[in-house]
Chains A and B, each alone.
Chain A
């Protein structure tokens, strides 16, 4: 079974609008962490945001926020006020089982139009 599922292969949004990228996860470990990374066309992986399973509040980093719904096992990334530079592939990833390695989803390609 997939540990990380990203059901949206591609998303389109207009500049200045908000967009939500979906991520669901599967783990039986009570201690885990969820990450979002951005991969622009140049190929590098840019860390965006982290949410720990015991964190009481949803993580926020500037225009990025993580909508963490533990009971639904979802960790959606919300990008507010999209910019053209947000066009990229976005990966959700999870660390669990007491290990530090990350398991990645297949990614969502976001295209921001003017």
Chain B
């Protein structure tokens, strides 16, 4: 069964460093998302991506964040200068292949720890 994959599973970085989180969505999906979950809290939307551009973003997704689909399979989230409060589980999700298919399938997550 197709699934969303994410790498790495765990990333430890120092405050101020740049990190790139990688995702491979389900191959025929057209909509891609990033969410985050701070430990013990609910899942929060960051950004959605469709047709090679951002379609929606939340207040959390400020100038320190960016997303990219560098090739036909990968979808990345970059945090330019990490802060302690960026420590969280980051989930990539995808949906599609046609409009009206709303189920979002999540990857296993990347746990980001900023020290």
Contact = CB atoms under 8 A, between A and B. Distances in A.
Interface stretch (B17-25, B42-50, B63-71, B76-84): B42-50
B103 interface: yes
What is the interface residue range for chain B against chain A?
A: 20 to 34
A39 to B, nearest CB: 8
Interface residues of A, number: 23
A29 interface: no
B75 interface: no
Between B55, B95, B104, B109, the greatest number of chain A beta carbons within 10 A of the residue's beta carbon is seen for B104
Contacts of B56: 99-101
Interface of A: 33, 35, 37, 42-47, 50, 52, 91, 93, 95, 99-107
11 contacts: A35-B104, A43-B89, A44-B107, A44-B108, A45-B106, A47-B104, A52-B102, A93-B43, A101-B58, A104-B43, A105-B42
Interface of B: 31, 33, 35, 41-45, 48, 55-56, 58, 89, 91, 93, 95, 102-109, 111
